[in-house]
């Protein structure tokens, strides 16, 4: 017996790779990063509950946030001018795709990447 998918909603997760980023401070300075991310989350109307981060030998870092809407992950590679982002906002009570779009647009303005790759994943919630 399969699950009744009509009882569920489709939500969106995006994995993004930002390549050749011009804003090197955002990739290597965790305090600067946190200040900017807090602002971008507010602009995008995304609600952070809690976050944790880890700096790798003074170089890049990983930042994870539990969101009211689901989760967010950043992995920075300053030596490669690369940032990996995963954001998942479930659509349980409303469609959050505009919030994801706004968030990624703001991140792109800050990073100033030469190129980017987005992978869209439809999730069941």
pLDDT tens sequence across 70-106: 999 999 999 999 999 999 988 666 677 888 899 999 9
* Rounded CA separation 28/77 (Å): 8
Give the phi and the psi of residue 66 in degrees, each rounded to 5.
Answer: -85, 125
Q: Locate the domains of the chain by residue range.
A: 10-124
Is residue 21 part of the annotated active site? The answer reads no
HEC string of 80-109 equals HCEEEEEEEECCCCCCCHHHHHHHHHHHHH
Hey, what CATH class is 10-124 in?
alpha beta
Read off the pLDDT of residues 12-30 as tens digits, 9 standing for 90 and up: 889 999 999 999 999 999 9
Catalytic residue among 70, 71, 102, 115: 70
Give the number of other Cβ atoms within 10 Å of residue 66's Cβ.
14
Q: Both tokens of residue 70?
A: 């689901």
93 is catalytic: no
Q: Please state the pTM of the whole predicted model.
A: 0.87
**Residue 71: active-site member:** no
| Active-site entry in 21, 28, 44, 90 | 90
- Of the residues 15, 51, 75, 102, only one is catalytic, namely 75
């Amino acid at each position: 017996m399969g699950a009744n998918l009509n009882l569920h909603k489709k939500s969106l997760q995006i994995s993004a790779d930002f390549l050749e980023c011009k804003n090197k401070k955002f990739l290597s300075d965790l305090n600067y990063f946190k200040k900017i991310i807090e602002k971008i989350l507010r602009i995008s109307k995304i609600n952070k509950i809690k976050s944790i981060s880890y700096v790798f030998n003074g170089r890049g870092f990983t930042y994870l946030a539990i969101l009211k809407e689901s989760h967010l992950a950043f992995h920075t590679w300053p030596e490669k001018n690369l940032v990996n982002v995963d954001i998942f906002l479930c659509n349980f009570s409303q469609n959050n795709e505009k919030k994801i779009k706004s968030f990624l647009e703001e991140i792109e303005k800050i990073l100033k990447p030469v190129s980017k790759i987005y992978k869209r994943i439809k999730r069941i919630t």
